[in-house]
A and B are shown apart, each in its own frame.
Chain A
Amino acid sequence: MVRFPKDLYADVRVETVFSTKILLDDFLLKQNKTKTDTGALVRVFDGTRWYYGATTDLARLQEMVDGLARMATPAQGIDAHPAVARMEANRGDFRRYADDSVARVSNADKLALMESYVPVLREAEGILKSRLYYLDRHTEKRFLSSRGADLVFDIQQASLSARYTLQGRDAPFQGGEDVFETVFGRLPGRQEKVRGTLRKDLDYCRNALPVPPGTYTCILSPLVTGVFAHESFGHKSEADFMAGDETMAREWAIGRRVGVPELNILDSGAIEGAGYVPFDDEGTRARETWLIRGGLLSGRLHSAATAAQLGEEPTGNARAVTFEYEPIVRMTTTYVGAGTRSRDSLFADVADGLYIDGLNHGSGMTTFTLAPRRAYRIRNGQVAEPVSVSVITGNVMKTLEEIDGISDEVELFSFALGGCGKMEQHPLPVGFGGPTIRVRGMQVQ
């Protein structure tokens, strides 16, 4: 397919993406789009600097490889460079969804599926505006490298997403629900999930009153726990933030205590869902990485380059949002591991606190924030009245020490719309989740 230049490392990633987007805007057809795009990213490395080129003109791929090679400085023995030596040379056909590809399903069938969810929205009183999306994407990636990698694999997602604006107590309220799967055939028959969320949103927005700002014990639902883990610790585990920085390397030494002894946080690209990537975008096979085990820092997320800089091994977390971008260190499916307590017992001994049930968004570096979509007061161990909260904030490291209860059941989630953002690359599909957790001393505004 391509000739790789001498005395340089080089790889080529060709992506063929079939996608569908159908949108019913207040039940009227607004979009019905199906397309297949193909593009490629070429990387060349001379031991000092990387050179990347993105193109849609595959007929001139060799020209791009050669052009990037001319910018680089040939380096004899490049294969022995610590980053290059860590590049896996996997070979083979690892396609999983070829027989179940969403490209094999007609748009008429996809539209019919959407129509089966329309009554859920039509029957609800108080919807001011609605959008129902059907989205799918089947991405086939071919990866070749000068180290000998030659593999093809695929990833897929299919989803329905309802978004609506409701008439709230004193302001419009925006809510929604997703049904996410990796194959089309699992999407039908999930109306009750959408209906249930819609009922909760209606009750919430008609009754929620502002919560007095202050410090509260908060119980986070599995969905909120997942976003919290992603924002609070997942991003800190991405090794490109610490590579080459002696202070950070000391601060983030493996084995350091970073949370309560019951806390485990993991990342894995092998879990089916939005974060499923059997190989990353430099050909490294997916694996499970324990970021925190028993409250101790036990691992971090790597590309081959960051692994080389820190003297560790790649973890299959070099990901690019599309073929137009180079892979950088990203999460896949990140989740808090199960604890030992029942969910009910976490509520039982909270005299006054908050239950954070749903979320608009989260963010996190040193300080994390969670912007709840639905929150409820906890009074005497029971979920009580709905309350309106702008944001919940806290210092990441302090908060991980304030977790005082982890339930015994893990739920994993994938969003249909949006995704993780880092630098210029957004939105990258990721999975997340965890059990119900209880955290003391969260700042609520």
Chain B
Amino acid sequence: MSGDATGTVRESIRLSVRETAVSVSLGRIDSVRTRRIVRSGCRVYADGCLGVAGTLGEATAATWAEAEANLALRIPYPYAPGRDLARARDLRGPALADDAFVRACEGLLEALRRSHPEYLFSNRIALTETETTLANDAGLDLVNRDRSVVVALIIKHRDSVHIFDAGLFRQDRAFDAEALLADARELLDAFGRKAVRPVGEKVLAVLQADLVLGKLEESLNGESVAKGASLFCGRMGERLFSPAFSLVQDRTDEAYHVPFFDMEGVVNPGDRVPLIENGVLLRPYSDRKAAALLGEPSTGAASGAYDETPGLSGTNLSIVPGTRTLAELLGGEPALAVLVASGGDFTPRGDFASPVQLAMRIEDGRLQGRLPDCSVRGNLFELFGDDFVGLSSDRPFMGERALVVRLAVSDG
């Protein structure tokens, strides 16, 4: 198939979400919610323009007619749509019926209440299944299926006057109650002990990468790079970061509910694209428009809603893990584990600061005890440069790899 005789290509997008979620209050389920939502988009490519329309539910002849009619809006799209590629990826683990999921949640909560009676657990546990399809009459036929359990429980000590004290956040493709209970045990055992903060001008800190990847995501936007609106303009090919630091655009099965294709149907070998390799800035991430501006192939980072023209707003970035475990990265030195840090930000030039609402001392990869509230500071080029230690090969906390860097730490 290659579109019709006029060169017009018709493309469909279908996003399906099936979710069962329980809301948790004071350690017990207080509500059960089911969502069964389908969103469908129709695209018509013709004469260098794109007509788009969408609907909740399945696309109908009327949706296609609307997309066709919207060609009259003359939204420019002078790029060839994806073609001649068929692939389906199914990342779903074992199926879990709604009632079995609710029973599993009840069991987990009962175990948490029994093991940790001095704490209150609340918020949400969700079982989510997604299916994303992108297909056109030029031979593109891509399907991504995924299913995950997200446990997002906030934890409060019964005597605490804080809204919450800690969190149990874990995403897996199966309901792993044992892993969750082990996470809770390590976290809350340490929470109950007071510890001494490591000292130094900069201390070893263990974080989740998401806390500090935002500025890299902003600065690696291909359109910003092409238009001189990024910190990285004119610096491609330079070694800006530590030789131990590599970063990829990640559509592998490491990421949950991230299709292996972008919203323009671009697929990459191994589902990843190196952006920074051994500290050298290789390329920004791009969609077809940014790629044209840069004179390079698209990296497959197009995003956008099902009923919109694709665009470039951000992408899923992953630091490439090293070969050392967290304990090995720490090398016997005590460190600060940043477990809850909300509200931090970078300045335009890359200076970073964040309050830390829950910090713990960590030694040899194990949480030792709670530290008073503190603040951390760093700079983008130092965090991933001289201050970068590595991303752990293991997943020591809540199923996540640990990022180890050096940060300045102060009280309050």
User: Which of B31, B311, B412 touches A51 (beta carbons < 8 Å)?
Assistant: B31
Contact string, A360-403, partner B, CB cutoff 8 A, digits 1/0?
Answer: 11111111110100000000000000001111010100000000
The reply to whether B311 and A173 form a contact with Cβ atoms under 8 Å apart is no
Q: Given A165-B229, A445-B377, does the pair A30, B311 have CB atoms closer than 8 Å?
A: yes
The reply to whether B37 and A31 form a contact with Cβ atoms under 8 Å apart is no
* Docked CA distance A41–B216 (Å): 39
Q: Which of B265-273, B316-324, B348-356 contacts A (4 or more CB under 8 A)?
A: B348-356
> A349 within 8 Å of B by Cβ?
no
> Which A residues are in CB contact (< 8 Å) with B75?
29-32
> Which B residues are in CB contact (< 8 Å) with A390?
344-347, 351-353, 377
The reply to whether A172 and B231 form a contact with Cβ atoms under 8 Å apart is yes
User: Which of A240, A389, A393, A424 touches B355 (beta carbons < 8 Å)?
Assistant: A393
> A197 within 8 Å of B by Cβ?
no
> Which A residues are in CB contact (< 8 Å) with B159?
247
The reply to whether B76 and A28 form a contact with Cβ atoms under 8 Å apart is yes
B150 to chain A, nearest CB (A): 9
| Interface hits, A331-360 → B, CB 8 Å | 360
| Interface hits, A21-42 → B, CB 8 Å | 21, 25-26, 28-33, 35, 37-39
Contact string, B1-38, partner A, CB cutoff 8 A, digits 1/0?
Answer: 00000000000000000000001011001111111111
What is the chain B residue whose CB lies nearest that of A238?
B163
> Which B residues are in CB contact (< 8 Å) with A57?
57
The reply to whether A38 and B32 form a contact with Cβ atoms under 8 Å apart is no
What is the chain A residue whose CB lies nearest that of B223?
A129
The reply to whether A37 and B56 form a contact with Cβ atoms under 8 Å apart is yes
- The interface centre, meaning the residue of B31, B74, B230 with most chain A CB atoms within 10 A of its CB, is B31
The reply to whether A241 and B308 form a contact with Cβ atoms under 8 Å apart is no
The reply to whether A236 and B32 form a contact with Cβ atoms under 8 Å apart is no
> Which B residues are in CB contact (< 8 Å) with A56?
37-38, 56-57
B55 to chain A, nearest CB (A): 8
What is the chain A residue whose CB lies nearest that of B344?
A391
User: Which of B57, B76, B307, B343 touches A368 (beta carbons < 8 Å)?
Assistant: B343
> A54 within 8 Å of B by Cβ?
yes
> A443 within 8 Å of B by Cβ?
yes
> A326 within 8 Å of B by Cβ?
yes
Question: Between A and B, how many residue pairs show CB distances below 8 Å?
Answer: 181
The reply to whether B343 and A33 form a contact with Cβ atoms under 8 Å apart is no
The reply to whether A172 and B229 form a contact with Cβ atoms under 8 Å apart is yes
The reply to whether A243 and B25 form a contact with Cβ atoms under 8 Å apart is yes
> Which B residues are in CB contact (< 8 Å) with A170?
349
Contact string, A234-259, partner B, CB cutoff 8 A, digits 1/0?
Answer: 01100011011111100100000000
> A167 within 8 Å of B by Cβ?
yes
What is the chain A residue whose CB lies nearest that of B157?
A247
Contact string, B228-252, partner A, CB cutoff 8 A, digits 1/0?
Answer: 1111000000000000000000000
B394 to chain A, nearest CB (A): 29
What count of chain B residues pass the 8 Å CB interface test? 68
The reply to whether A49 and B351 form a contact with Cβ atoms under 8 Å apart is no
> Which B residues are in CB contact (< 8 Å) with A210?
347, 349, 351
* Docked CA distance A21–B37 (Å): 22
What is the chain A residue whose CB lies nearest that of B49?
A29
B243 to chain A, nearest CB (A): 25
B125 to chain A, nearest CB (A): 12
The reply to whether A423 and B56 form a contact with Cβ atoms under 8 Å apart is no
The reply to whether A445 and B163 form a contact with Cβ atoms under 8 Å apart is no
> B114 within 8 Å of A by Cβ?
no
Interface size band for A: 35 or more
> B156 within 8 Å of A by Cβ?
yes
> A216 within 8 Å of B by Cβ?
no
> B315 within 8 Å of A by Cβ?
no
* Docked CA distance A209–B203 (Å): 26
The reply to whether A54 and B37 form a contact with Cβ atoms under 8 Å apart is yes
> Which B residues are in CB contact (< 8 Å) with A167?
228
A242 to chain B, nearest CB (A): 8
> Which A residues are in CB contact (< 8 Å) with B38?
56
> B309 within 8 Å of A by Cβ?
yes
> Which B residues are in CB contact (< 8 Å) with A38?
56
> A5 within 8 Å of B by Cβ?
no
What is the chain A residue whose CB lies nearest that of B233?
A172
The reply to whether B224 and A165 form a contact with Cβ atoms under 8 Å apart is yes
> Which A residues are in CB contact (< 8 Å) with B26?
244-245
The reply to whether B33 and A245 form a contact with Cβ atoms under 8 Å apart is no
- The interface centre, meaning the residue of B76, B223, B309, B345 with most chain A CB atoms within 10 A of its CB, is B345
User: Which of A25, A55, A174, A423 touches B36 (beta carbons < 8 Å)?
Assistant: A55
> Which A residues are in CB contact (< 8 Å) with B158?
245-247
> B169 within 8 Å of A by Cβ?
no
> B110 within 8 Å of A by Cβ?
no
What is the chain A residue whose CB lies nearest that of B66?
A35
* Docked CA distance A17–B124 (Å): 27
> A53 within 8 Å of B by Cβ?
yes
The 13 sampled A-B contact pairs (Cβ below 8 Å) are A33-B308, A35-B54, A49-B30, A49-B31, A172-B228, A173-B348, A245-B156, A365-B342, A368-B343, A390-B344, A390-B351, A391-B354, A395-B412
- Interface residue ranges, A against B (CB under 8 Å): 21, 25-26, 28-33, 35, 37-39, 49-57, 71, 107, 128-129, 165, 167-168, 170-174, 205, 210, 213, 235-236, 240-241, 243-248, 251, 324-326, 360-369, 371, 388-391, 393, 395, 423-424, 443, 445
- Interface residue ranges, B against A (CB under 8 Å): 23, 25-26, 29-38, 52-57, 70, 73-76, 120, 123-124, 126, 152, 156, 158-164, 223-224, 227-231, 307-309, 311, 342-355, 357, 373, 375, 377, 410, 412
Question: When A and B form their complex, which 4 residue pairs have the shortest distance between CB atoms, in order from nearest?
Answer: A369-B343, A50-B31, A363-B343, A390-B353
Known contacts A21-B308, A51-B31; 6 additional CB pairs below 8 A are A35-B53, A35-B55, A54-B36, A245-B26, A366-B163, A393-B343
